[in-house]
């Protein structure tokens, strides 16, 4: 099997079931090429045989040897910067213990936080814990904890962090702090390369709210972009792809994401992905958000799949985040596989 194989219903035969990061199970089908090969076609600028799924077609790993992994667990505790976290069962996640920010004045940050050294973490033990679960047919994707702006928020609380980015009396100290955080992440990605050799590494930094971006493009370019760019260059120098996890409204920041060297961005559905794909799809990888209730009808599923194929998925060159009944995922696979055959026949596929 290979790129010359046209879609056949035999591909829907389940050959393997794999556990997901959050307790879900993904059924891998008998595809002409592996999901890993298919995903890398997208990142390498080619046309995937089907639109790759952003959940379920990766070996998804959180960095368990990072002290923050324990701090954000139900056990709670302090992360490598000295910030205390509490697990919130109703939210299914952790938050910084409220009311006592580690840094009250960013100009005094050196006396308030510790700077973790990823080179001292137990990478060998963590690798040995995970190695047997890594499927060679899937890309390995490693998710990092909060990076620059999120790190500042964790240390200062949200309002103080936003002010620190724009206050002329604070900017120099923020730059000093971000320089140290950037070095922590570069060390982290170097160790990930050594031990896991992942195809995709994640950078987790929320730059928007439900209604607007958290700061202006000018502030981003001055205060954050230089550090993201250095991290991106470091990641690319090791042959890995750089994926951004950034929640909130961040449409206006996309040109600066590209300038920083980010390869792909999930983003929430509140961002107009079709518009962004039409504007920047030749430079950047977007994720299509497809969601339906678990009791969705055939007609509802067929309608959203048709909209996807006629819209952001018209060239198969996007990731797909799908939530809904299992049949929805299968329908997306079938539609995008047939779409690949059409693109090849019309000479529009990048082979």
73 and 217 in a common domain: yes
pLDDT tens for each residue of 233-291: 999 999 999 999 999 999 999 999 999 999 999 999 999 999 999 999 999 999 999 99
277 lies in a domain?
no
Nearest-5° angle of CA 23, CA 321, CA 301?
A: 100
Question: Which of 243, 265, 287 corresponds to the end of one domain?
Answer: 265
Mean pLDDT of the chain: 95
114 and 180 in a common domain: yes
Its pTM stands at 0.95
135 lies in a domain?
yes
Task: Spell out the alpha helix ranges (H) of 167-270.
Answer: 171-196, 217-223, 225-237, 254-260
227 and 136 in a common domain: yes
Give residue 26's pLDDT band: very low, low, confident or very high (50, 70, 90). Answer: confident
65 and 145 in a common domain: yes
312 and 229 in a common domain: no
CATH number at residue 68: 3.20.20.210
User: What pLDDT, on a 0 to 100 scale, did the predictor assign at position 124?
Assistant: 98
Q: Which of 219, 145, 239, 149 is nearest to 185 (CA)?
A: 145
85 and 72 in a common domain: yes
User: What pLDDT, on a 0 to 100 scale, did the predictor assign at position 32?
Assistant: 97
272 lies in a domain?
no
Q: Which of 67, 50, 71 is nearest to 3 (CA)?
A: 50
7 and 148 in a common domain: no
- Of the chain, the percentage scoring pLDDT greater than 70 comes to 98
Does the structure show a pLDDT above 90 at 201?
Answer: yes
Question: Could you give the number of structural domains in the chain?
Answer: 2
230 and 177 in a common domain: yes
pLDDT tens for each residue of 77-131: 999 999 999 999 888 889 999 888 999 999 999 999 999 999 999 999 999 999 9
3-state helix/strand/coil string of 154-165: HHHCHHHHHHHH
291 lies in a domain?
no
Range(s) of the domain holding residue 7: 1-54+298-351
Q: Look at strands 319-323 and 285-291 and give their pairing.
A: parallel
202 and 90 in a common domain: yes
111 and 197 in a common domain: yes
181 lies in a domain?
yes
Does the structure show a pLDDT above 90 at 329?
Answer: yes
240 lies in a domain?
yes
Question: Which of 249, 265, 281 corresponds to the end of one domain?
Answer: 265
User: What pLDDT, on a 0 to 100 scale, did the predictor assign at position 250?
Assistant: 97
User: What pLDDT, on a 0 to 100 scale, did the predictor assign at position 2?
Assistant: 87
Question: Which of 242, 265, 288 corresponds to the end of one domain?
Answer: 265
284 lies in a domain?
no
Question: Backbone phi, then psi, for 25, in 5-degree steps?
Answer: -125, 130
Mean pLDDT of 315-341: 96
* Length of the chain (residues): 351
Is residue 89 within 8 Å of residue 165, measured between CB atoms?
no
99 and 82 in a common domain: yes
Does the structure show a pLDDT above 90 at 232?
Answer: yes
166 and 25 in a common domain: no
271 lies in a domain?
no
């Amino acid at each position: 099997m290979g790129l010359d194989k046209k879609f056949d219903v035999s591909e829907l035969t389940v050959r393997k079931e794999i556990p997901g990061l959050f307790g879900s199970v993904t059924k891998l089908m008998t595809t002409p090429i592996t999901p890993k090969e298919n995903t890398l076609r997208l990142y390498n600028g080619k046309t995937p045989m089907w639109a790759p799924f952003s959940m379920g077609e990766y070996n998804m790993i959180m960095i368990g040897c990072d002290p923050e992994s324990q701090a954000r667990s139900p056990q709670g505790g302090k992360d490598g910067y000295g910030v205390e976290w509490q697990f919130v069962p109703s939210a299914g996640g952790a938050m910084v213990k409220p009311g006592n920010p580690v840094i009250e004045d960013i100009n005094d940050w050196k006396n308030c936080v510790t700077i973790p050294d990823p080179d001292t973490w137990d990478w060998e033990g963590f690798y040995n814990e995970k190695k047997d679960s890594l499927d060679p047919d899937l890309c390995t994707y490693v998710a990092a904890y909060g990076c620059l702006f999120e790190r500042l928020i964790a240390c200062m609380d949200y309002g103080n962090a936003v002010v620190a980015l724009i206050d002329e009396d604070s900017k120099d100290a923020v730059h000093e702090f971000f320089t140290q955080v950037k070095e922590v992440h570069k060390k982290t990605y170097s160790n990930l390369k050594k031990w896991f050799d992942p195809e995709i590494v994640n950078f987790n930094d929320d730059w928007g709210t439900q209604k607007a971006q958290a700061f202006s493009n000018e502030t981003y370019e001055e205060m954050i972009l230089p550090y993201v760019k250095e991290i991106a260059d470091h990641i690319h120098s090791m042959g890995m792809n750089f994926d951004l996890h950034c929640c909130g409204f961040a449409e206006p920041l996309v040109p600066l994401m590209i300038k920083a060297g980010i390869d792909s961005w999930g983003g929430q559905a509140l961002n107009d992905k079709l518009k962004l794909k039409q504007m920047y799809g030749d430079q950047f990888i977007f994720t299509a958000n497809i969601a339906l209730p678990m009791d969705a009808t055939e007609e509802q599923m067929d309608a959203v799949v048709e909209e996807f194929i006629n819209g952001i998925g018209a060239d198969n060159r996007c990731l797909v985040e799908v939530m809904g009944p299992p049949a929805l995922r299968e329908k997306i696979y079938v539609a995008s596989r047939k779409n690949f055959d059409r693109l090849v026949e019309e000479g529009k596929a990048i082979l």
